[in-house]
């Protein structure tokens, strides 16, 4: 008789005889464990390197890295979860979950879950809510971003601030922007908070704490 085990992770059952699921689970679990162990000492550059190394490794298996999305959002989401404490998953729909703090069920974090912005359902990359109200938002960009994209981000942030004046908003950019980049100039002029990970040796936790006031959220 074969030895069969099942266990739960973020609400989904995995049969230990289902090898492809186990492979995917183990990869995500190992990466999540690494973030949990190191989030207090991880620099922005180290977070960037995790993404860049994976991005480059993809080319060894599929000739290029284009069209691959979701991994940077996973890294940032799990980092913020660990920075804020322990969370348990809660299903919203068959395809969507939010994560509820185990110490304060009013504190909720989600990835691409909706928030009402002047009657329109917007889905930021990372949303932190307290008592049902959005308190912090992170939008994530990975590759070199155009001036047009920056315009769209600024407009989106303005909509967020109109709906929630006290909302903490951060644009996180993995790739470096040069001082001659028009997008960087626009970001600075807009006075929106942004964080570039590449070539940044600052502690990611400290910088997120400064921008999103994570310490206040944990209290």
Where exactly are the structural domains of the chain?
1-38, 42-218
- Specify the pLDDT at position 175: 87
Q: Residue 35: its pLDDT value, please?
A: 97
What is the pLDDT at residue 155? 94
Low-confidence ranges of the chain (pLDDT < 50): 1-11
pLDDT digits (tens, 9 = 90+) for 60-96: 887 776 667 789 999 999 999 999 999 999 998 888 8
Q: What is the per-residue pLDDT for 179?
A: 62
Q: What is the pLDDT of residue 77?
A: 97
pLDDT of residue 185: 84
pLDDT (0 to 100) of residue 8: 41
Q: What pLDDT does 1 receive?
A: 38
Q: What is the pLDDT of residue 209?
A: 94
Residue 104's pLDDT is what?
95
Question: According to CATH, what is the number of the domain 42-218?
Answer: 3.40.1350.10
- 3-state per-residue secondary structure call for the chain: CCCCCEEEECCEEEECCCHHHHHHHHHHHHHHHHHHHHCCCCEHHHHHHHHHHHHHHHHHHHCCCCCCCCHHHHHHHHHHHHHHCCEEEEECCCCCEEEEECCCCCEEEECCCCEEECCEEECCCEEEEECCEEEEEEEEECCCCCHHHHHHHHHHHHHHHHHCCCCEEEEEECCCCCCCCHHHHHHHHHCCCEEECCCCCCEHHHHHHHHHCHHHHHC
Residue-level pLDDT at 191: 86
C-alpha to C-alpha distance for 200 and 174, rounded to whole angstroms: 10
């Amino acid at each position: 008789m074969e030895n069969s085990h099942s266990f739960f992770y973020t609400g989904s059952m995995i049969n230990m005889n289902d090898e492809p699921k186990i492979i995917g689970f183990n990869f995500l679990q190992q990466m999540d464990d690494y973030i949990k162990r190191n989030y207090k000492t991880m620099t922005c550059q180290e977070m960037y390197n995790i993404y860049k190394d994976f991005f480059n490794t993809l080319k060894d298996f599929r000739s290029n890295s284009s069209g691959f999305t979701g991994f940077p959002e996973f890294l940032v989401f799990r980092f913020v979860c660990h920075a804020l404490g322990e969370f348990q998953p809660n299903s919203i729909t068959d395809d969507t979950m939010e994560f509820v703090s185990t110490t304060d069920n009013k504190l909720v974090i989600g990835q691409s879950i909706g928030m009402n912005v002047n009657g329109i359902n917007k889905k930021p990359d990372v949303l932190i809510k307290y008592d049902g109200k959005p308190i912090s938002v992170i939008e994530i960009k990975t590759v070199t971003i155009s001036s047009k994209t920056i315009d769209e981000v600024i407009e989106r942030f303005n909509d967020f601030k109109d709906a929630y004046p006290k909302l903490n908003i951060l644009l996180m950019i993995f790739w470096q922007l040069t001082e001659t980049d028009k997008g960087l100039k626009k970001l600075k002029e807009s006075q929106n908070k942004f964080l570039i990970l590449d070539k940044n040796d600052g502690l990611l936790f400290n910088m997120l704490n400064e921008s999103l006031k994570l310490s206040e959220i944990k209290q």
